[in-house]
């Protein structure tokens, strides 16, 4: 597996560098394709959207010597190259640190750090321009997959997508309580999917009964406005992790944290059964998956807030307070 994974990385790097060369020389035009992305899609057997993303990465890597060298050495997967190249485009001083992190961190940890680097590199004006760009590129796509399932992908400004997730929150809680009452084990992602279907069904019923005095359709989402039911409290509790200096300054600098978290659960780092106390020093927040994993394997959290990892009890004891 390791051998084939290494070969895959080298082959992907070759495709990436060849794509940049094709773009520079215009050799793709000999085949009668409308652009280099169409040529790449036809040659590699991928969608035009995937080819467009690959070309974007190829153009970035071509101007980043460190990322290009790591790609040539087979040290980066296509997914790693994409997120690292994007972050280095925003902050070139982060290139070395991100390439070092790629050697040890999983993809999720690497992407999280790349997102932080990108966010910290933006100025307030950049944020406004970025919001407008994301709003212009907003989309919702429905795809029918070969196995008969359907997939919905929605993309847009964070405040808009957060409104959708906030509207799902009470439905998710209701479904969770129903499953707990019947002792039915359902993954949180499946509960969220059921909540989305329930919300759609409710909307259809309310629209079809509007003329007979039934509940009217929900108010359309407006940027920066939190959806609420009249007379009720807001539908979402938002947990924000932000570096104190960044909070006072109004923007982040490299290595600082500013994150919005959702669906987190309170965790006792040292379990109560093992003598852990219910005090701030022993409490933290984890997603459902990592909370369950920590409990089943009797692990401990270690590291600074926003960049913690799970380790064994022995490693936690050696690290000290």
Yes or no: say if 270 and 281 are a contact pair by the CB < 8 Å rule: no
**CA–CA gap between residue 241 and residue 304 (Å, rounded):** 12
Is residue 215 included in any domain, yes or no? no
Facing residues of 301 across strands?
Answer: 310
Domain residues for the domain of 47 are: 2-121
Q: Which of 75, 100, 121 is the last residue of a domain?
A: 121
**CA–CA gap between residue 180 and residue 187 (Å, rounded):** 12
From first to last of its 321 residues, the chain has per-residue pLDDT tens of 989 988 988 998 898 889 888 888 888 887 778 888 889 888 888 888 888 888 989 999 989 999 999 988 889 988 999 999 999 998 899 999 999 999 888 888 899 888 888 877 776 557 778 788 888 889 998 888 888 888 899 999 888 888 888 888 889 989 988 988 898 888 888 999 999 999 998 888 888 765 444 444 444 444 344 444 444 555 455 677 788 888 888 877 776 777 777 667 889 999 988 888 988 888 888 877 788 888 888 999 988 766 788 889 888 888 876
Q: Which two tokens stand for residue 24?
A: 């520079």
Q: Which of 72, 101, 121 is the last residue of a domain?
A: 121
Total Cβ atoms within 10 A of residue 194: 19
Is residue 192 included in any domain, yes or no? no
What is the DSSP secondary-structure string of 181-222? HTT----HHHHHHHHHHHHHHHHHHHHHTGGGT-PPPPPPP-
Residue 151, SS3 per DSSP: strand
End-to-end CA distance of the chain: 39
Is residue 16 included in any domain, yes or no? yes
pLDDT at 249: 83
C-alpha closest to that of 67 among 106, 20, 8: 20
pLDDT at 309: 85
Number of structural domains found in the chain:
2
Spell out the alpha helix ranges (H) of the chain: 2-25, 36-44, 48-61, 65-72, 78-90, 95-104, 107-121, 124-136, 158-181, 188-208, 244-249, 288-297, 313-319
pLDDT at 65: 92
Residue 291, SS3 per DSSP: helix
pLDDT at 66: 93
Q: Which two tokens stand for residue 314?
A: 């022995």
pLDDT at 202: 87
Is residue 213 included in any domain, yes or no? no
**CA–CA gap between residue 17 and residue 13 (Å, rounded):** 6
CA 147 to chain centre: 25
Is residue 143 included in any domain, yes or no? no
Q: What's the Cα-to-Cα distance from 97 to each of 79, 123, 195, 307, rounded to whole Å?
A: 17, 21, 41, 15
CA 84 to chain centre: 14
Is residue 267 included in any domain, yes or no? yes
Is residue 221 included in any domain, yes or no? no
Is residue 41 included in any domain, yes or no? yes
Q: Which of 121, 146, 162 is the last residue of a domain?
A: 121
> Residues 66-101, buried b or exposed e (16+ Cβ, 10 A)?
ebbebbeebbbbbebbbbbbbbbbbbeebbeebbeb
């Amino acid at each position: 597996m390791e051998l084939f994974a290494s070969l895959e990385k080298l082959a992907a790097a070759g495709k990436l560098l060849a794509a940049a060369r094709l773009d520079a020389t215009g050799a793709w035009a000999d085949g009668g394709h409308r652009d280099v992305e169409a040529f790449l899609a036809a040659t590699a057997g991928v969608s035009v959207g995937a080819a467009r993303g690959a070309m974007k990465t190829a153009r970035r890597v071509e101007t980043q010597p460190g990322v290009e060298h790591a790609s040539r050495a087979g040290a980066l997967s296509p997914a790693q190259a994409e997120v690292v190249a994007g972050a280095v485009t925003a902050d070139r001083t982060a290139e070395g640190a991100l390439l070092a992190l790629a050697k040890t961190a999983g993809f999720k940890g690497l992407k999280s750090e790349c997102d932080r680097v990108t966010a910290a590199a933006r100025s307030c004006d950049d944020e406004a321009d970025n919001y407008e760009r994301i709003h212009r590129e907003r989309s919702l796509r429905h795809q029918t997959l070969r196995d008969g399932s359907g997939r919905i992908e929605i993309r847009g400004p964070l405040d808009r997508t957060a409104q959708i997730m906030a509207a799902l929150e009470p439905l998710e809680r209701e479904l969770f309580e129903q499953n707990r009452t019947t002792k039915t084990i359902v993954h949180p992602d499946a509960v969220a999917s059921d909540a989305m279907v329930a919300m759609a069904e409710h909307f259809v019923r309310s629209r079809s009964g509007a003329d007979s005095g039934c509940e009217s359709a929900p108010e359309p989402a407006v940027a920066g406005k939190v959806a609420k039911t009249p007379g009720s409290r807001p539908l979402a509790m938002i947990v924000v992790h932000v570096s104190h200096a960044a909070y006072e300054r109004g923007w982040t600098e490299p290595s600082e944290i500013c994150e919005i978290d959702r669906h987190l659960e309170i965790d006792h780092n040292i379990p109560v059964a093992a003598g852990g106390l219910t005090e701030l020093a022993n409490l933290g927040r984890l997603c459902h998956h990592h909370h369950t994993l920590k409990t089943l394997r009797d692990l401990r959290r270690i590291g600074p807030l926003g960049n913690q990892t799970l380790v064994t009890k022995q490693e936690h004891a050696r690290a000290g307070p």
